[in-house]
Amino acid sequence: MLTKQKYLDDVRDVLDTAAREHATSFNPEYCFDSIIDEGDTRIAIKTSVTIDNVESHVREELSKICSILRCTPIIIGERTRKRPLIDGVIHIRGSIPAITLETLRGILEDKVFPFLLAKKGGIYVIMNGNKLKKAREAKSYSRGDIADEIGLSRRAIYEYERGTMSPTIDVVLSLEELLDTILIDPLNLLKTISTPSKSEITHESLGNQTQLTKTTLEIFSRLGFNSTIANDAPFNLLTSLQHHVVLSYLKQRLERLDENRLEFLAKLADILNEEPAIIASDSLTVEAISGIPCFCLKELLSLENPSEFIALIQSRRGA
């Protein structure tokens, strides 16, 4: 029987051998276990042998963080609660693709992307609806002509072209033969998310936050930063301005800091080429811990513009 620890060891082995570079920490409190750097693209993965055990709030947090850090989120697992996953087939949980570890290995080592999608009722093919429409129009076929040739409804062809419905493998092969073109469209899970989304902070989302978090948010807002609260990550805040993203770890006092968390945060900053920071309420006697710049609220309150903060981080990095 595959144990959880054995599976986590297998995931780390695949990342060590197949990923260009990665930062990994299997902490169940985090919404992701690894950030993978593939050069032009980044992947954030959450590992769970049973993919249905990744709770909705974890998936939502993962999606939110990935949109800011420009990562592609993926869940890695081997089964649902009902049946094993199949290599090369994508399941969707929330809006996040879930695949097997062997499928991830194929993506990282050989850039072989899956094109089969598991949905209620069976396995379907990911097809390029725009290609289908262009190929049909190039041959002067109507949707009715295509439907009659392969025994489907005009409505089905319409939905295929819109991308709102996926065909079975038999249907797509018939379409490709009829139109003499490749329509299967593998899902490139290494695509870059180019436009970070801005997360709105509401009064409701601040309800359970500490005074340190609220004050830090006020300071960053005054300086012109966009900030996003992270509840299930090795950092508490993602603070961004133009091309800069700061991964901030908020701590009331710099006592009993989690060394594993600090190590993971530092590695993440290196992988993502972003800046880490530790922010505390009390006055500090150090400028950095484990290479991560440290700040107190009093110091942040004295800043007049965002460039001062970025310059301080960069000068203290590694101090």
pLDDT value at residue 319:
52
Q: Determine if the pTM surpasses 0.75.
A: yes
- Tens of pLDDT along 249-306? 998 888 778 899 999 999 999 999 999 999 998 888 888 998 899 999 999 999 999 8
- Domain ranges within the chain, ordered by starting residue: 4-114, 124-179, 203-316
Question: What is the pLDDT confidence band of residue 5, given thresholds at 50, 70 and 90?
Answer: very high
Looking at the DSSP bridge assignments, the partners of residue 310 are none
- Tens of pLDDT along 53-100? 999 999 999 999 999 999 999 999 999 999 999 999 999 999 899 999
pLDDT value at residue 254:
81
User: CA–CA separation, 57 vs 65, rounded Å?
Assistant: 12
User: CA–CA separation, 253 vs 245, rounded Å?
Assistant: 24
- CATH (one of 3.60.60, 1.10.10, 3.40.1350, 3.40.50) for 4-114: 3.40.1350
- Tens of pLDDT along 14-51? 999 999 999 999 999 999 999 999 988 899 999 999 99
Q: Residue 133: which H helix or E strand, with range?
A: helix 129-138
Q: Residue 113 contacts by C-beta under 8 Å, 6 or more apart in sequence? A: 107, 186, 187, 188, 189, 190
Question: What is the pLDDT confidence band of residue 244, given thresholds at 50, 70 and 90?
Answer: confident
Q: Report whether pLDDT(112) > 60.
A: yes
Query: Domain spanning 124-179 has what CATH number?
Result: 1.10.260.40
b vs e for 78-116, b when ≥16 Cβ sit within 10 Å of the residue's Cβ? bebeeeebbbbbbbebbebbbbbbbbbbbbbeeeebbbb
10 Å CB burial of residue 300 (0-12, 13-18, 19+) is: buried
* Dihedral of alpha carbons 63, 25, 192, 116, sign: negative
CB 42 within 8 A of CB 272: yes
pLDDT value at residue 278:
94
- Tens of pLDDT along 197-240? 555 554 445 667 788 999 999 999 999 999 999 989 999 999 98
Coil vs helix vs strand at 78 = coil
Q: Report whether pLDDT(318) > 90.
A: no
Query: What mean pLDDT do residues 114-124 have?
Result: 89
pLDDT value at residue 83:
93
Domain 203-316 top-level CATH class = alpha beta
